[in-house]
Amino acid sequence: MSPRLLTVRDLTKHFPLKGGLLGTSRGVVQAVDRVSFDVHEGETLGIVGESGCGKSTTARLLVRLIEPDSGEVTFDGATVGRRPSENAHTTIGLRELRRQVQMVFQDSYSSLNPRLSAAASIAYGPFVHGMARAAARERAHELLQAVGLDPGPFANRYPHELSGGQRQRINIARALALEPRLVLLDEAVSALDKSIGAQVLNLLADLKERFHLTYVFISHDLNVVRHISDRVMVMYLGKVVEIGDVETLYREPQHPYTRALLSAMPSMDPSRRTLEAPLSGDPPNPINPPSGCRFRTRCPIAGDVCAREEPALTAFDNAGHAVACHKVLLPSGSRRAA
Amino acid sequence: MPPSVLEETAPPAATAPVVSVRDLRVTFASRDRTVHAVNGVSFDLAAGEVLGILGESGSGKSVTLRALIGLLPPAQARIEGDVRIAGRDLTRLAGKPLADFRGRTIAMIFQEPMTALDPVYTIGAQIEETIVRHEGVSHKAARARALELLDLVQIPSPARRLAAYPHEMSGGMRQRAMIALALSCRPSILLADEPTTALDVTVQIQIILLLRRLQRDLGMAVIFVTHDVGVSVEIADRLAVMYAGRFVETGPTEAVIRQPRHPYTEGLLGSTVTTARGQRLPAIPGAPPDLRALPPGCAFAPRCRYAEERCIADVPPQHHVAPDHTTRCVLAGG
């Protein structure tokens, strides 16, 4: 396997809920709770889960758009932040981190400055990072070409003059302007129509090859994640419940939540419509998650142990497939913590 | 234009259709521009039938639906054509007769229950008010019906939920409450405008299954608008694929999905990722046309890889590739 580009260990973010007359705390949203995973150089890691599972917060924590409560992020061997850890002796500052790790958001309109033309938006980053104005502008034109927009008509257009698909191409070009190594795509094609989204997915595949990129691809669309990812991580209420190779995970999901999620996908076959919903009710509120395993309140196979103990993400095989479930049989045939 | 609008529709069913639309056109005019949102839609809907209208943003699917229930702003929208709902010409209704008609004969559910429900009244009060207004029964009787309705849409502890405000419910529960409200006067036709789009996938399938069961048990005719191929497959008996304000393909769901006969349908199904990993998606190039200035011919021709000279000249008429399967593509006509 290729070397680790990004290492995330015990990343945690709890948001206090302020309320009442005196602004007293009414509880804590455990948005991301001790999340650990690796991203390997050159791969695409898909992150899936339903609203409130913490997938977008995770992305924002990775580029420090939100400051984590605890946990450690290592980029290419260097700890993010000031304090080096025991195993990593170097640190990487935010400025350098954000040069190497860029992000594309879902809302193509609100993520562009309405007063900057397409070329100016793309050139802004390189300019701030010390590139001469003319060179930055030239770079913007190259990138417009790379994302399939002719600089002639498009360089001087403003966001409101562009379609959603075109705006998202500008956002992608801007993300690539600083020659990053890792790009976080947070629902980057979710707001686009299917026919336009397919074009952007093809573009992302081309750019990845051309610029040797690594992607973290966050989406609620399970079909799209299967198409683009090498590995997939499934989150539920701020926790990683399963991670593994995309085909293994889609063909043989182990965690009961992953199974439910995949079987809730609408059937594409009119003669095999879904007959029963795999789960009832909505995902519980992340303010007061259930004790032990957070999925146990909706889980068809939950037992006593699931309320008592929180299941750890444990290796299921030697190929990097890991599951956080007390009830999942290990390949040795033994049940964990029965 | 096709020679006769009436000729090209399916042969008349044994019973009269509950919805009959002929050459529906909707334009939105303002001082400096005119947007052609719906450009000649004709179809019949039989009692108890589920029609799925599949299309992308701006295809005119929601505008078509709103035209059927008289929800378009009269000051801006110009509606032409013939719309008959349960035998009555809806375009000629206004004021109280229109209000009587809505709710009892035809009802609608929306994508966003939070904006469709009134935030300052409880769910129970909203259902009760609707029943009293339409059926003139006592508040007590209406309240009993409201309880039955919440039970019908499978809201747990319905008695307690009657006293809940919309903001106190989760997204899935609000959607169920909105369905209960729409069904409160037993409409024979239900219009659904992307009611599962804003929901998570595990909740979406619950709502689809609920709607399917209610449709069957109550024998309602349903028009279900969606952009999601998978959702339309789960719910619809018949599909109409919409592009630039026209039905470009109609037919039984199975036939349209398995043997699409319009290049746009083919492209839409290709863009819906089911292909193997690592392969390129057969995406449709280009973007949908500007509805202010539609091309004179087939609106899809500029993006179509099969387009020929004759595609640009005139809007292709509807061809029957099977008795119940039509496409607006010259290639199907030979």
Return the CATH number at A316. Answer: 3.40.50.300
Q: Quick check: A264 and B202 CB within 8 A?
A: yes
Between CA A308 and CA A182 the distance in angstroms is 39
| Interchain pair A270, B257: CB under 8 A | yes
Mean pLDDT to the nearest integer, B37-66: 95
User: For residue A275, how far is the Cα from the chain centroid?
Assistant: 31
* B18: CB partners within 8 A, 6+ apart: B45, B46, B47, B85, B86, B188, B189, B221
- CA–CA dist B71, B94 (Å, integer): 11
pLDDT, position A259: 96
Q: Is residue A141 situated within a structural domain?
A: no
CB A247 to CB B277 under 8 A? yes
Percent of chain A clearing pLDDT 70 (strictly above)? 92
What is the pLDDT at residue A61?
96
List of chain A residues whose C-beta atoms are within 8 Å of the C-beta of residue B272: 194, 223, 268
Cβ-defined contact of A267 to B233 (cutoff 8 Å)? yes
**Backbone CA torsion sign across A277, A281, A286, A291:** negative
B246, B328 contact by CB (below 8 A):
yes
Contact A264 B229 (CB under 8 A): no
Q: Which domain holds residue A272?
A: 4-108+180-323
- To test the contact with chain B by mutation, choose from A53, A55, A193 the residue with the greatest count of B C-beta atoms within 10 A, namely A193
Residue A51 scores a pLDDT above 90: no
Residue count of chain B: 334
CA distance A278 to B230: 17
Q: For the whole model, what pTM was predicted?
A: 0.90
Strands, sheet with B88-89, edge to edge from the N-terminal-most edge strand: B34-45, B19-29, B77-85, B88-89
For an interface test with B, give the residue of A150, A201, A249, A282 to mutate (most B CBs within 10 A): A282
Would you say residue B267 lies in a domain? yes
Among candidates A50, A193, A196 on the partner chain, residue whose Cβ is nearest the Cβ of B202: A50
Average pLDDT over residues B93-122: 91
**A278 lies in a domain?**
yes
pLDDT of amino acid B278: 67
The count of structural domains within chain B is 1
Q: Helix, strand, or coil here: A312?
A: coil
pLDDT of residue B11: 43
Rounding to the nearest 10 degrees, give the CA dihedral for residues B132, B138, B142, B143: 130
The CATH number covering residue B100 comes to 3.40.50.300
Which residues 248-267 of B are in CB contact (within 8 Å) with A?
253-254, 257-258, 267
Nearest to B281 among A50, A201, A283 (CB): A201
Residue B155 lies in a domain: no
Determine the pLDDT at residue A13.
Answer: 95
Q: What is the nearest CA distance from B309 to chain A, expressed in angstroms?
A: 24
Q: Which residues in chain A are contacts of B268 at CB distance < 8 A? A: 194-195
The shortest CB-CB distance from B227 to any of A193, A278, A281 is to A193
Of A199-213, B93-107, B248-262, minimum mean pLDDT range: B93-107
pLDDT digits (tens, 9 = 90+) for B66-92: 999 999 998 899 999 999 998 888 877
Measured CA distances, B179 to A283, A299, B147, B195 (Å): 20, 27, 13, 9
Distance between CA atoms of residues B17 and B301, nearest Å: 33
Residue B181 lies in a domain: no
Express as a percent the part of chain B with pLDDT over 70. Answer: 94
Q: What is the ipTM of this complex?
A: 0.88
State the CB neighbour count (10 A cutoff) for residue B87: 10
Instruction: Answer yes or no: are the C-beta atoms of A218 and A186 closer than 8 Å.
Output: yes
B138 falls within a domain: no
Residues in A closer than 8 angstroms to B170, CB to CB, are 281-282
Which one, of B214, B206, B134, lies nearest residue B179 by Cα?
Answer: B214
Encoded tokens for B85:
């709902």
What percentage of residues in chain A have a pLDDT greater than 90?
A: 78
Q: How many folded domains does chain A comprise? A: 1
B293 in a structural domain: yes
Domain that holds residue B245: 19-105+187-333
Specify whether the CB–CB gap between A74 and A7 falls below 8 A. yes
Q: Token pair for residue A226?
A: 């299967």
pLDDT value at residue B6: 40
A167-180: per-residue pLDDT in tens?
Answer: 999 999 999 999 99
Two structure tokens written together for A61: 């924590």
Looking at the partner chain, which of A165, A194, A196 has a beta carbon nearest the beta carbon of B272?
Answer: A194
Euclidean distance between CA atoms B111 and B109, whole angstroms: 7
B281 has a chain A CB within 8 A of its CB: yes
Q: What is the pLDDT of residue B195?
A: 95
CB contact under 8 A, B268 and A268: no
Q: What pLDDT was estimated at residue B7? A: 40
Residue B317 lies in a domain: yes
Q: Which of A201, A223, A282 sits opposite B274 (nearest CB)?
A: A223
Find the CB nearest A246 among B233, B277, B283.
B277
pLDDT at residue B30 is higher than 90: no
Say if the Cβ atoms of A276 and B202 lie within 8 Å.
Answer: no
Q: Which of A163, A224, A277 sits opposite B273 (nearest CB)?
A: A224
CA distance B301 to chain A (A): 15
Please say if the pLDDT value at position A110 is more than 80. yes
Residues of chain A contacting B277 with CB distance shorter than 8 Å: 226-229, 246-247
Q: How many CB pairs under 8 A join A and B?
A: 120
Q: Output the CA–CA distances (angstroms, integers) from residue B241 to A133, A239, B256, in the order listed.
A: 49, 40, 9
Condensed to tens digits (0 to 9), the pLDDT of residues A58-109 reads 999 999 999 999 999 999 999 998 665 555 568 888 889 999 999 999 999 9
Nearest-CA distance from B206 to chain A in Å?
5
Cβ of A50 within 8 Å of Cβ of B173? The answer is: no
Q: What secondary structure does DSSP assign to A100-139, as a single string?
A: HEEEE-S-TTTTS-TTS-HHHHHHHHHHHTT--HHHHHHH
pLDDT at A159: 95
**A51 contacts on B by Cβ (under 8 Å):** 200
Instruction: List CB contacts (< 8 A) between B258 and chain A.
Output: 270
Task: Specify the pLDDT at position A286.
Answer: 82
On chain B, the residues whose CB falls within 8 A of the CB of A282 are 170-173, 200, 203
Residue A338 has pLDDT above 60, yes or no: no
Instruction: Give pLDDT, residue B333.
Output: 74
Q: Residue A28 has what pLDDT?
A: 86
Helices (H), chain A: 55-62, 94-100, 118-128, 133-146, 151-154, 164-176, 194-211, 222-228, 246-251, 256-263, 304-308
Beta-carbon-side half-sphere exposure of residue A178 (alpha carbons within 13 Å): 23
User: At A40, is the pLDDT very low, low, confident or very high (cuts 50, 70, 90)?
Assistant: very high
pLDDT at B1: 40
Band (pLDDT 50/70/90 cuts) for residue A282 is: confident
Chain A hits for B262, CB-CB cut-off 8 Å, are: none
Q: Say which residues have a Cβ less than 8 Å from residue B66's Cβ, sequence separation at least 6.
A: B72, B193
Looking up tokens 């019908």 gives B152
Question: Residues A189-234: pLDDT tens digits?
Answer: 998 998 899 999 999 999 999 999 999 999 999 999 999 999 999 9
